[in-house]
Structure 1
Amino acid sequence: MYSLKKRVVLIEDSPIALEILQRMLNSSSEIDVVGTARNGEEGLEVIIRTQPDVICTDLLMEDMDGLELTRRVMSENPRPILVISNYVQKTDIDNVFRLLQAGAVDVFPKPATNSPTDYEKLKAALITKIKVLSNMKVIPKRQYKPLASTELITSGFVSTTGSTRLMSTSRIQIIGLGGSTGSLQTIQKILNQLPSDFPLPIICVLHMGEGVLSGLVKWLSLESALRVKVAEFGEFPLPETVYFASDKNYLELNSQGTFIYSKPLLGEKNCPSITVTFKSLANYYGQATAGVLLSGIGSDGAEGLQTISQAGGMTLAQNDAMFGMVKEAISLNAVQHLLNIEDMAPFLLKNL
Structure 2
Amino acid sequence: MHSLKKKVVLIEDSPIALEILQRMLNSSPEIDVVGTARNGEEGLEVIIKTQPDVICTDLLMENMDGLELTRRVMAENPRPILVISNYVQKTDIDNVFRLLQAGVVDVFPKPATNSPTDYEKLKAALIAKIKVLSHMKVMSKRQYKPLPDSGELTTSELGLKTNLSKLMATSRVQMIGLGGSTGSLQTIQKILNQLPSDFPLPVICVLHVGEGVLSGLVKWLSSECALRVKVAEVMEFPSPGTVYFAPEKNHLELDSQGAFIYSRTIRGEKYCPSITVTFKSVANYYGRATAGVLLSGIGNDGAAGLQTISAAGGITIAQNENIMFGMVKEAISLNAVQNLLSIEDIAPFLMGILCEKSGGF
Structure 1-normalised TM-score? 0.91
AA aligned to 1:293 is L
Give yes or no for contact 1:158–1:164 (8 Å, CA) kept in 2. Answer: no
Report how far residue 45 of structure 1 moved.
2.6
21-30 vs 181-190, which moves further: 181-190
Number of corresponding residues: 350
Q: 1:260 to 1:18 in 2, by over 3 A?
A: closer
Are residue 26 (structure 1) and residue 29 (structure 2) matched?
A: no
Q: Which runs of 4+ in 1 moved over 6 A?
A: none
Query: What residue is the counterpart of 1:45 in the other structure?
Result: 45
Unaligned 5+ residue runs, structure 1? Answer: none
Report how far residue 44 of structure 1 moved.
2.2
Are residue 185 (structure 1) and residue 199 (structure 2) matched?
A: no
AA aligned to 2:201 is L
Q: 2: distance between equivalents of 1:114 and 1:266?
A: 26
* Residue from 318, 325, 328 that aligns with 1:326: 328
Q: 1: distance between equivalents of 2:76 and 2:317?
A: 29
Give yes or no for contact 1:90–1:211 (8 Å, CA) kept in 2. Answer: yes
Q: 2: distance between equivalents of 1:351 and 1:232?
A: 27
Q: Secondary structure at the match of 2:347?
A: helix
Are residue 317 (structure 1) and residue 321 (structure 2) matched?
A: no
* Residue from 333, 340, 343 that aligns with 2:342: 340
Q: 1:21 to 1:260 in 2, by over 3 A?
A: closer
Q: 2: distance between equivalents of 1:4 and 1:22?
A: 19
Report how far residue 210 of structure 1 moved.
3.6
Give yes or no for contact 1:152–1:349 (8 Å, CA) kept in 2. Answer: no
Query: What residue is the counterpart of 1:198 in the other structure?
Result: 199
Q: Secondary structure at the match of 2:218?
A: helix
AA aligned to 1:308 is I
Q: Percent identity?
A: 82
Q: Write out aligned runs for 1:1-352 (5 A).
A: 3-149=3-149, 150-151=152-153, 153=155, 154-155=157-158, 158-160=161-163, 165-166=166-167, 168-180=169-181, 182-322=183-323, 323-352=325-354
AA aligned to 2:304 is E
Q: 1:156 to 1:247 in 2, by over 3 A?
A: farther
Q: Secondary structure at the match of 1:166?
A: helix
Report how far residue 253 of structure 1 moved.
2.1
* Cα deviation 1:3-45 (Å, max 9, x = unaligned): 2211111122333322222222112111111122222233223
Q: Secondary structure at the match of 1:111?
A: coil
Report how far residue 167 of structure 1 moved.
6.2
Q: 1: distance between equivalents of 2:72 and 2:186?
A: 17
Report how far residue 106 of structure 1 moved.
0.8
* Cα deviation 1:164-195 (Å, max 9, x = unaligned): 54164422211000112532222122111111
Give yes or no for contact 1:7–1:52 (8 Å, CA) kept in 2. Answer: yes
Q: 1: distance between equivalents of 2:6 and 2:193?
A: 31
Q: Secondary structure at the match of 2:299?
A: coil
AA aligned to 1:27 is S
Q: 2: distance between equivalents of 1:43 and 1:89?
A: 24
AA aligned to 1:85 is S
Give yes or no for contact 1:165–1:197 (8 Å, CA) kept in 2. Answer: no
Q: 2: distance between equivalents of 1:125 and 1:260?
A: 29
Q: 1:165 to 1:34 in 2, by over 3 A?
A: farther
Q: 1:347 to 1:130 in 2, by over 3 A?
A: same
AA aligned to 1:155 is L
Q: 2: distance between equivalents of 1:218 and 1:157?
A: 34
Q: 2: distance between equivalents of 1:249 and 1:61?
A: 34
Give yes or no for contact 2:95–2:216 (8 Å, CA) kept in 1. Answer: no
Give yes or no for contact 2:96–2:213 (8 Å, CA) kept in 1. Answer: no
Q: 2: distance between equivalents of 1:105 and 1:192?
A: 16
AA aligned to 1:159 is T
Report how far residue 86 of structure 1 moved.
2.4
Report how far residue 350 of structure 1 moved.
2.5
Q: 2: distance between equivalents of 1:339 and 1:277?
A: 22
Structure 2-normalised TM-score? 0.89
Q: 2: distance between equivalents of 1:242 and 1:156?
A: 25
Q: 1:45 to 1:214 in 2, by over 3 A?
A: closer
Q: Secondary structure at the match of 1:228?
A: strand
Unaligned 5+ residue runs, structure 2? Answer: 355-361
AA aligned to 2:333 is S
Give yes or no for contact 2:92–2:212 (8 Å, CA) kept in 1. Answer: no
* Cα deviation 1:97-150 (Å, max 9, x = unaligned): 211111111111222224333333322222121112112222222123433323
Q: 1:69 to 1:236 in 2, by over 3 A?
A: same
